[in-house]
Amino acid sequence: MRSEVLLPIGELARRTGVNPVTLRAWERRYGLLKPQRTAKGHRLYPQNQVERVETILAWLQRGASVGQVRELLDKPTSTAPKGDWQARQFELVEAIASLSQRNLDQQLNQAMALYPALTLCEQLLLPLLDLLDLRWGNYFNARLEQVFFYGWLRSKLGARVYHDNQLLHGPAVLLAEDSERAFSPGLWLCAWLFTSNGIPVEVLEQPVSAAQLQSAVSIFQPRAMLLHLGPRIDDKALLRALQGVPGPKLLGGSMVTLHETRLKDSELPDLFLFDTPQAALRLLQAHDRQPVEMSDPCT
C-alpha cells in the first residue's frame, strides 16, 4: 500500500502561495490547521490539510476574516459573512491622518501575518487606496498625507520584495513604469504579489527610454515583462520597444481602459492587458501553467 505524501511547510507554501509565517499563525492562533510532526518537530502536511488551506483561501477571497473561517469551513460557500475589512481600512486611514508610522506598521504587520498577499491586496490595500483617493480629493492636508503614506508604503513593499527576491531563483519578471508619477502603488503591489507567490522580479520604477528598456531586457533576460501604464502613453513607441521581447508582455494598471482599444489592435504576440495587480498575477500564472489558456490575448 502506497504511503500518503506529506508536504513540508515550505512546499505547502510554494503550492498555495501562503507563506510559512501565516500557516503557523493559522495553526497556533486559530486552530485552522493540524499538521503532523516529525521526530524533530518539523511540520508535515497530508493532502487533507492542503485541501483545507485551499478552502481557507476560498473563504478569505470571498471577504471572510481569518477569525470567522473556522466556523465556516464545513458550511456551503454561499453563506459567506461580511469580514472586518472595512474596519481595518478605516483604522489605516486614521493612522495615515495622524502620520503615525508605528501604528501603520503594527496594523499592516499583523494583517500580513494572518493573510496571504493576494487576499490583502484584494480586500484591504486596493480598497484603502480608493478610500484615500476620495479623501485626498477634498481634504486640505491631502498632499502631506500622500507624501507620508507613499513614502511609507514604498519602503514597506520594497523591503518585502527585496527579502522575497533573495530566496528566489531563476529568470525574473521585469516590471517597468510608463508614466512620470513619483510613486506608483500599483507597480509595487504587482511586484509584491509576484515575489510572495514565488516569482522573482526586477523593478524599474522610473520611466526609461525605449532603447534603455531594450537594454534592460538584454541584460536581465526576463521570463516576462510587465509595464504599468499612466494616463498618457505613446502607444506606437511603446509597441515598437516591445517588438522582439520574448515571453508574455503584460500591460495595464488602473488606467488601462484609456488605452485598451489601441493596444488590442496591436498584432504584437503574447500581449495581455490587466487592470489590477491580482489580475496580472493570474495572467502570468495561467501562462506558466497552460499556455493554451492564453490563446485570446488582451482580455
**What is the tens place of the pLDDT at every residue in 35-83?**
999 988 899 999 999 999 988 888 888 888 888 888 888 766 555 566 6
pLDDT of residue 296: 42
Whole-angstrom Cα distance, residue 22 to residue 113? Answer: 5
277 vs 139, residue with greater confidence: 277
180-221 per-position pLDDT tens digit: 777 899 999 999 999 999 999 999 999 888 888 889 999 999
Q: How confident is the model at residue 290 (pLDDT cuts 50, 70, 90)?
A: low
**Residue 297: pLDDT over 60:** no
pLDDT of residue 79: 58
Residue carrying the nine cell digits 503614506: 149
**Residue 23: pLDDT over 80:** yes
What is the mean pLDDT of the segment spanning 31-35?
A: 92
- Percent pLDDT > 90 in the chain is 56
**Residue 293: pLDDT over 60:** no
Q: How confident is the model at residue 244 (pLDDT cuts 50, 70, 90)?
A: confident
**Residue 1: pLDDT over 50:** no
Residues 6+ apart with CB under 8 A from 34: 27, 49
Q: How confident is the model at residue 299 (pLDDT cuts 50, 70, 90)?
A: very low
**Residue 3: pLDDT over 70:** no
Q: Is the pTM of this model over 0.95?
A: no
pLDDT of residue 283: 94
pLDDT of residue 298: 47
Q: Cell numbers at residue 10, please?
A: 515550505
pLDDT of residue 134: 86
**Residue 246: pLDDT over 70:** yes
Contact 154, 182 (CB under 8 A): no
**Residue 242: pLDDT over 90:** no
**Residue 294: pLDDT over 60:** no
Any bridge partners for residue 250, and if so which? 226, 272
Q: How confident is the model at residue 291 (pLDDT cuts 50, 70, 90)?
A: very low
What is the mean pLDDT of the segment spanning 159-166?
A: 95
Closest CA to 64 of 87, 86, 80: 80
- Residue 63 has, within 13 A of its CA and on its CB side, a CA count of 10
Residue carrying the nine cell digits 519602503: 155
Give the CA dihedral 184, 188, 190, 193, nearest 10 degrees. Answer: -150
Q: Cell numbers at residue 94, please?
A: 486614521
Amino acid at 244: G
